Amino acid sequence: MVRIWSAACDLIAGRLVDRRSSARGRFRPYLLWATPPLLLAAWAVFSVPDLDGYGLRLAYAWATSAVMILFYSLVTIPYVSLASAMTADPVERVGLNSWRMGAVMLVQLVLAGVVSPQITRLAHDPAALQGFFTLVAGANVVLGLVLYWTCYRTCREDVPVEVHPLTLRQTWEAVRTNRPLLVLCASTLVLLAGQFTIVGAQAHYAMLALGDSGLLFWMALASAVSSLVMVPLAPRLSARFGVRPTYVGMAVVAAVGALGIALAPTSVPFVLACFALQGLGSAPINALMYTLAADCVDHGRRTRGSATPGAVFATFHVARKLAQAAAGGVVGVGLGLSGIGAATAAGDPHAVSALVVLVAMVPGVLILAGGLAILAFGRSGVE
């Protein structure tokens, strides 16, 4: 239900973006008015009151999460669309998206370093842990307001786009007939399903194949550090080789990193090197995906005479969320079929073989297939 509601919210946000504009721009106003309710809803999610009864607590969790997801879409869809209005240069768009994705990974590392130790320390004191989460969420409200306001003030929508309000049927036709967008969504669904499968299975892999759950942090760190290295390089690669060739090349690198794990699945140094290689290829792909989504907006403007950035980016985001759901299903089914459970011992040969399939073989094939699928993007009418 959460996935369905999240996808619906993306489509609602895309619809609003395509129907409205103002003197302050088409996307920037959402960063101003939708941010406060988003951040307050996020604070409420992590500030559970002392309610009597499980049912009331569950209802509170559902309600606050639903509100947060709605405003998350109302902020995120305009935010990720903003690069397409800031410049028409594909390489500059790669740079904008690359630094944005790099900042996300940097924040994840900081949070992992600051929050994770406290979760361990306060694990046996629920009240103290709740207070810590509330404090962190409150700090994020203040910091988020400052950063979103700064983004609103400093970004400019320099690419002129006329707003032509479309009916739901016209919007559907604009999406359905945008062949580059359909190719991008197919590539995104397959490729990210591979990446998310690695994320979903790597905790089991660290514990059962490598024998140390603490290695999960080092696996994530290896991927993140190599990803950050690629942040300034992605625009240069795109300028030299082109956006789509770079996309394919990085998918090959990521696939090799994933598949390589199968060669020495219990060697910690080798596995960490493979995770670093996988991160090296994966990081630019996410930035390139958003750049290609902007190209899909331009394609719609050229072929239909009207741009629908909200619908394009919302559809693209739905594909990303479907990839997450698919990966969760793959991991769940894989663990179930292999019989891996709480009683499975570390080093069990059957478990190691099954986890190699989930962490290396399946993701590697999916990432490679998704990367190659983007070759059809250039045959879909995009200049």
Which tens digit of pLDDT belongs to each residue from 242-251? 999 999 999 9
pLDDT band per the 50, 70, 90 thresholds, residue 37: very high
Q: How far apart are CA 219 and CA 276, in angstroms?
A: 8
2-23 per-position pLDDT tens digit: 778 888 899 899 888 888 777 7
In order, the DSSP letters of 128-195 are: HHHHHHHHHHHHHHHHHHHHHHHHHHH----S--------HHHHHHHHHT-HHHHHHHHHHHHHHHHH
103-128 per-position pLDDT tens digit: 888 887 887 777 777 777 777 887 88
190-210 per-position pLDDT tens digit: 999 999 999 999 988 998 889
Whether 197 is covered by a domain: the verdict is: yes
Between 216 and 244, name the one with better pLDDT. 244
What pLDDT score was predicted for residue 309?
A: 86
233-271 per-position pLDDT tens digit: 899 999 999 999 999 999 999 999 999 999 999 899 999
What pLDDT score was predicted for residue 381?
A: 44
For the ranges 23-32, 114-123, 141-150, the maximum mean pLDDT occurs at 141-150
What pLDDT score was predicted for residue 73?
A: 94
What is the reported pTM?
Answer: 0.86
Q: Which residues pair with 25 in a beta bridge?
A: 22
| Sign for the pseudo-dihedral over CA of 331, 280, 229, 31 | negative
Query: Residue 341 above 90 pLDDT?
Result: no
Q: How far apart are CA 234 and CA 94, in angstroms?
A: 7
Total number of domains constituting the chain: 1
Whether 163 is covered by a domain: the verdict is: no
CATH of the domain at 140: 1.20.1250.20
Between 130 and 135, name the one with better pLDDT. 135
From residue 306, give the alpha-carbon distance in Å to each of 42, 81, 162, 297, 370: 35, 16, 7, 9, 29
Residues 6+ apart with CB under 8 A from 14: 77, 308, 310, 311, 312, 313, 314, 315
Least confident of 23-32, 49-58, 128-137, 281-290: 49-58
Q: How far apart are CA 96 and CA 235, in angstroms?
A: 9
> Token match 């997801």: residue?
69
pLDDT band per the 50, 70, 90 thresholds, residue 162: low
Q: How far apart are CA 54 and CA 70, in angstroms?
A: 24
Query: Residue 380 above 60 pLDDT?
Result: no
Between 61 and 52, name the one with better pLDDT. 61
Secondary-structure percent of the chain, ordered helix, strand, coil, rounded to 5: 80, 0, 20
For residues 92, 254, 251 and 367, what is the CA-based torsion angle, rounded to 10 degrees? Answer: -130
∠ CA(279), CA(100), CA(281), 5° rounding? 20
| Crossing angle (nearest 10°) for helices 215-230 and 268-304 | 40
Query: Residue 383 above 90 pLDDT?
Result: no
- The DSSP secondary-structure symbol of 22 reads B
pLDDT band per the 50, 70, 90 thresholds, residue 163: low
Least confident of 28-32, 40-44, 49-53, 279-283: 49-53
What pLDDT score was predicted for residue 374?
A: 95
Whether 121 is covered by a domain: the verdict is: yes
39-54 per-position pLDDT tens digit: 999 999 888 777 777 8
Q: What rounded mean pLDDT belongs to the chain?
A: 88
Structure tokens that stand for 275 in this block: 């995770």
Q: How many Cβ atoms sit within 10 Å of the Cβ of residue 328? A: 16
Structure tokens that stand for 315 in this block: 């559809």
What pLDDT score was predicted for residue 118?
A: 78
Whether 344 is covered by a domain: the verdict is: yes
| Residues 193, 255 contacting (CB under 8 angstroms) | no
pLDDT average, residue stretch 371-380: 82
Whether 166 is covered by a domain: the verdict is: no
* Type of residue at 46: F
From residue 88, give the alpha-carbon distance in Å to each of 14, 28, 137, 181, 196: 20, 17, 36, 17, 31
Beta strands in the chain (DSSP E): none
Whether 164 is covered by a domain: the verdict is: no
pLDDT band per the 50, 70, 90 thresholds, residue 161: low
pLDDT average, residue stretch 262-285: 92
Whether 247 is covered by a domain: the verdict is: yes
Whether 13 is covered by a domain: the verdict is: yes
Name the residue range of residue 73's domain: 2-158+174-379
Residues 6+ apart with CB under 8 A from 251: 191, 281, 285, 367, 368, 370, 371, 372, 374
Q: Long-range pairs for 114-121 at CB < 8 Å and ≥24 separation?
A: 116/217
Structure tokens that stand for 231 in this block: 């942040």
What percent of the chain is predicted at pLDDT more than 70? 97
Q: How far apart are CA 359 and CA 339, in angstroms?
A: 16
